């Protein structure tokens, strides 16, 4: 079995980020919506960690992985911010 080249992992990382964004925008009516988003977030995070470790945390890789995680996992960032704001002084629903 051939080893995957880093460019292949970058392509999968980008596609998972885009797929997460598409699921977030278009599939909120599914019963498994949050589960699908969670699985895509975990896959995206693990690919990002793999890329960072193999590139020895080069600054360009850190920037690109960070950008990919922010774009792909915007729903998670937004959800975390909203829950943090709601938790101030017991305002949480």
Please name which of 74, 77, 80 lies closest in space to residue 25, comparing C-alpha atoms.
74
The Cα–Cα gap between 85 and 74 comes to: 16
- Please give the model's pTM, rounded to 2 decimal places: 0.81
Close Cβ partners of 53 (under 8 Å, ≥ 6 residues apart) = none
Contact 30, 43 (CB under 8 A): no
pLDDT for 83: 84
pLDDT, tens digit (0-9, with 9 covering 90-100), for 32-60 = 999 999 999 999 999 999 999 988 888 98
pLDDT for 7: 85
pLDDT above 80 for 29: yes
């Amino acid at each position: 079995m051939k080893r995957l080249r880093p460019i292949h992992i970058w392509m999968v990382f980008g596609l998972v980020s885009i797929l997460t964004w598409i699921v977030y925008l278009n599939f909120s009516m599914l019963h498994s919506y949050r589960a699908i988003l969670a699985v895509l977030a975990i896959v995206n995070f693990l690919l990002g960690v793999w890329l960072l470790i193999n590139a020895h945390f080069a600054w360009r890789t850190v920037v690109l992985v960070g950008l990919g995680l922010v774009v792909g996992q915007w729903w998670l960032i937004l959800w975390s911010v909203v829950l943090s704001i709601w938790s101030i002084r017991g305002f949480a629903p």
